[in-house]
Structure 1
Amino acid sequence: MEVAHDPGTARFGNFINYYSFNPPNNRLELIGEDFLKFLEADYSELDCIHCLDIGCNSGDLTTALYEKLSSTVRVKFLGVELDTTLVERCHASNRYPGEISYQKADLTSAADRQDVISEYLRKHAIDRFHVVCCFSVTMWVHLNNGDAIFREFLSYVAKLSLNLLLEPQPWKCYRNAVRRMKRSQCEPFEHFEKLQWRTEVEKCIEGFLTENCAMDIKTSYGHTKWQRPVTWLCSK
């Protein structure tokens, strides 16, 4: 897969220089002190906590999250990204190779789940990640795979998570992505017209996680400058 230079061709959200127009602080400034205090109170006796960043792009946000969370507890981060070029950028710019690792993985793929995620959990003798981050990933999974696989993806993410930091894209982002594809004369998203979760997709996602995946909403942190909600959910 080639990293997308034209935004219209970024079918999987694999934008080049993504953090130049959506810098990490747009998310970090919303994550409150309550989250850091929770980590310190609940996990300070552990040797370290393990965090997963799904769709890490070039690793800028992964690094910023590591620096923020490691101010209270020792942290190890795994960042996964399905674009080979972006994963190479992650490796090249990794300032904390002992604490942050990156792998190429598509978490809708059973093989990648087994080879990357299950192997990481086995290696570190844990059943779940203490923190999973899923920032601006949901739309791409939804558009490229349809409702059924998207719901299964959400169930899988919930099973991996003791705590989930979630930033879903609202419906207007779907429409914009479809328009960019059309403008660039790229193959359209084949599932778009059939999607059942549409105008209030963020509420559909939160409702599915709380009603079907044994998760509770701990805190709603408000919206980013791009009007995307950031929510902290925890396993029941």
Structure 2
Amino acid sequence: MAAPRREQGAEEAPGGLEPGAAPYGNFPNYSRFHPPEGRLCLLPPALLWRLFPAGPSPLLGLDVGCNSGELSVALYRHFLGLQENEAGSDQPVVGKDLNLLCCDIDAALIERAERCSPFPGSISYATLDVMDPGAREFLSSYLSRFSRSTFDIGFCMSVTMWIHLNHGDDGLVEFLTYLSSLCKYLLIEPQPWKCYRAAARRLRKLGRNDFDHFHSLAINGDIAERTTQILTEDGAMELVCCFGSTSWNRSLLLFKSNRLTQKQH
């Protein structure tokens, strides 16, 4: 499914439904329950400078599963050193410019993100299911506008569980393999296994059928470790850093494409 992000703790789902009725994780008001500050406090503000000391310009970023955009905007401000009161100022910090493309499976959430965005010149939004070939064509077309084949950095925050539950083990591997081919760096926050159980429990509580793949998932247990194995086992990426865990017990993992390492050498 693609760009869904967001899950437990949400009070409502689209149309005012119960949380379990949003099986792709597309909960409104998610940031009230897991606010951006819970991630930002773990991330160095100068990270983009450290990763890309000499460019390119602009840097291209991709946020998969942006929900209604609060975390996307917070990441943009954090990495460019912008203060909250600078909303409306779309000027990049000297020496760094970031074009951030944010996508989500939910058109209503994307519409809200666009309406509320303080940086319309630098942050753009698209309704996409990145498991769909058409969405991948869109992303390739977007990159071609900048004469690029990859994004400089990708963000995938609390999305992997929804891909996994809706597409199974093969779908998760395909999704992560695709992201590893699409991004030079990837910052990912996988949900732990207990969140899978909670999501399935919410569906059952509403009298709905279980996720199609939940009971057949062989990739389980320590999901952060399994995610790392998938991203690194074929040599596509290497783990650069674990920035620790949020207060809701999710690891923030930064990966680097080995193609970038080879190019630097």
**TM tier, shorter chain?**
over 0.9
Match of 1:158?
Answer: 180
Unaligned runs of 5+ in 2: 1-12, 82-94, 259-265
Are residues 4 and 169 of structure 1, via their aligned partners in 2, closer, same or farther at CA, if it must alter by over 3 Å? farther
1:152-198 deviation per Cα after TM superposition (whole angstroms, max 9, x unaligned): 11100000110100100010000000001111222310101110101
2:16 and 2:58 mapped to 1: Cα distance? 35
Number of the residue aligned with 1:207:
229
Show the 5 A alignment for 1:82-231: 82-114=105-137, 116-212=138-234, 214-231=236-253
TM-score normalised by length of structure 2: 0.84
- Please give the alpha-carbon distance, in whole angstroms, between the structure 1 residues aligned to 2:123 and 2:27: 22
Q: Residues 64 and 154 of structure 2 are in contact (CA less than 8 Å); yes or no, is this contact kept in structure 1? A: yes
Which amino acid letter does the alignment assign opposite residue 61 of structure 2?
Answer: C
Identity %: 37
Q: Does the aligned pair in 2 maintain the 1:168–1:228 contact within 8 Å?
A: yes
Counterpart pick for 2:66 among 52, 56, 59:
56
Cα deviation per residue 1:199-227 (whole Å; 9 max; x = unaligned)? Answer: 12221110110112510111111100110
State yes or no: 1:69 paired with 2:105: no
Structure 2 CA distance for aligned equivalents of residues 233 and 68 of structure 1: 19
Contact 2:193 2:220 in 1 (8 A): yes
Distance in 2 of aligned mates of 1:197 and 1:4 = 33
Q: 1:142: how far off?
A: 0.1
Q: What is aligned with 2:19?
A: 7
Alpha-carbon separation, structure 1, partners of 2:205 and 2:215: 18
Classify the secondary structure of the residue corresponding to 2:151: coil
- CA shift for structure 1 position 2: 4.4
Distance across 2 between alignment mates of 1:145 and 1:175: 16
Among 9, 18, 28, the alignment partner of 2:40 is: 28
Provide Cα deviations, 1:73-131, integer angstroms capped at 9, x if missing partner. Answer: 211100000001101111110111100000000111111111x2111111121110001
Q: 1:121 to 1:213 in 2, by over 3 A?
A: farther
Find the residue that maps to 1:217 and give its secondary structure. strand
Which residue number corresponds to residue 89 of structure 2?
Answer: none
For residues 231 and 77 of structure 1, the distance between their equivalents in structure 2, rounded to whole angstroms, comes to 19
The structure 2 residue matched to 1:19, chosen from 19, 31, 38, is 31
Contact 2:242–2:252, Cα closer than 8 Å, also in 1: yes
| Number of residues of Structure 1 aligned to a counterpart in Structure 2 | 233
* RMSD of aligned Cα (Å): 1.6
Instruction: Report SS of the residue matched to 1:205.
Output: helix
Aligned 8 A contact 2:63 2:156 in 1: yes
1:34 to partner: Cα distance: 6.0
TM-score by length of 1: 0.94
CA distance in 2: counterparts of 1:21 and 1:4, whole angstroms: 17
1:79 alignment counterpart: 102
In the superposition, relative to structure 1, how do residues 40 and 150 fare at CA in structure 2: closer, same or farther (>3 Å)?
closer
2: CA distance between counterparts of 1:15 and 1:22?
12
Shift of 1:3: 5.8
